[in-house]
Structure 1
């Protein structure tokens, strides 16, 4: 029984503590400061964050180095003649020589008389 009285006393004291409660009011210039903060946080959109990450020196130097290495690798593979390319060029030249595809003139045709 004593426990029940303690609980009732606690409930009653809690309800009595709310008697002097008033509605909470915001401080002066609260809405102005809130609007300014919202504008400030909205200004950093996705593009600005992306640009801020890319312009970091470590990311920029790594990106430039990667582009230069890819460019050098492609240049080296294009400069080195491969065996397959040279064979293909020889076959095309032999085909063109066989059928005289390299010479296109209209004056070499003979006129046949009927």
Structure 2
């Protein structure tokens, strides 16, 4: 059972199928779908990846968490624009900002 457990997405095999390595056991769980998981947000100042919407695949810094309306305020890497997205559309990024180019850098 994976309820209330943390893990890291290590591979995306299709639009709605990915592999997660669990933090506690290091075990891989393949073929998971977006409907089966909930994204996690870092503390203020942490790095995030935008998963959906106009800024999809952009990384940035979490400036603010608005729990009352489930919104995150993010400063995008690169052009430093500030955008607001749903909690469901953003997740903590555990890699470094310089590891790969953002989609906007291509």
Bin the TM-score by the shorter chain: under 0.3
Identify, as 1 or 2, the structure richer in strand.
2
Greater relative contact order structure (CA < 8 Å, 6+ sep): 2
Identify, as 1 or 2, the structure richer in helix.
1
